[in-house]
């Protein structure tokens, strides 16, 4: 976006993110989303995927996969969300991990697909929503299995002003 994350006037944002690393992961041990965003931000700032903090955070994310094959935003939940699964796959790919053959994640995402063509956020939701469907699109692209139905669902939510509705 044209900004240098190491020189934002008063802060070096790369060092601020690095300062949240505890030796094994970023932020709170209870959450995975802080590790995801740290990896994505550091990689966007040009930090190599071989960086020790990125490698450790990717390992933390990998270890905290839920039994259902996806990820939840907390490291203590037994059930996953579409959004967090897409985010985790994006972070792992940014960290240099191969995610293209992750059939376990694909099976989880398949369970979240709904009849309207999109994806629900969590198990038990009967209809899709825009955010979860967008993360599913991203995840499926990383998995090498893009689904036209998700794209059609998201397109169906577009408004005349260029924005998107959350759901139908």
- The three-state DSSP-derived secondary structure of 59-84 is HHHHHCCCCCCCECCECCCCCCEHHH
Q: For 3-62, write each residue's pLDDT tens digit.
A: 777 777 778 899 999 999 999 999 999 999 999 999 999 999 999 999 999 999 999 999
Q: For 67-89, write each residue's pLDDT tens digit.
A: 999 999 988 888 899 999 999 99
Q: For 47-68, write each residue's pLDDT tens digit.
A: 999 999 999 999 999 999 999 9
Residue 66 sits at φ, ψ, to 5 deg, of -80, 160
Residue 57 sits at φ, ψ, to 5 deg, of -65, -40
Single pTM value for the model:
0.91
Rg (CA), the chain: 17
Average confidence score pLDDT of the chain: 92
Tell me what pLDDT residue 1 has: 59
């Amino acid at each position: 976006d044209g900004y240098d994350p190491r020189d934002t006037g008063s802060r070096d944002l790369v060092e601020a993110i690095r300062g949240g690393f505890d030796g094994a992961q970023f932020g709170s041990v209870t959450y995975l989303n802080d590790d995801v965003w740290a990896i994505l931000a550091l990689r966007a700032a040009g930090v190599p995927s071989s960086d020790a903090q990125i490698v450790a955070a990717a390992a933390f994310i990998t270890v905290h996969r839920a039994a259902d094959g996806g990820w939840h935003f907390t490291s203590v939940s037994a059930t996953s969300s579409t959004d967090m699964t897409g985010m985790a796959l994006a972070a792992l790919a940014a960290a240099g991990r191969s995610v293209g053959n992750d059939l376990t994640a694909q099976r989880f995402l398949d369970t979240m697909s709904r009849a309207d063509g999109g994806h629900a956020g969590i198990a038990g939701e009967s209809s899709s929503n825009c955010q979860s469907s967008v993360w599913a699109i991203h995840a499926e692209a990383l998995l090498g299995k893009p689904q036209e139905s998700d794209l059609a669902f998201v397109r169906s939510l577009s408004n005349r002003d260029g924005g998107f509705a959350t759901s139908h």
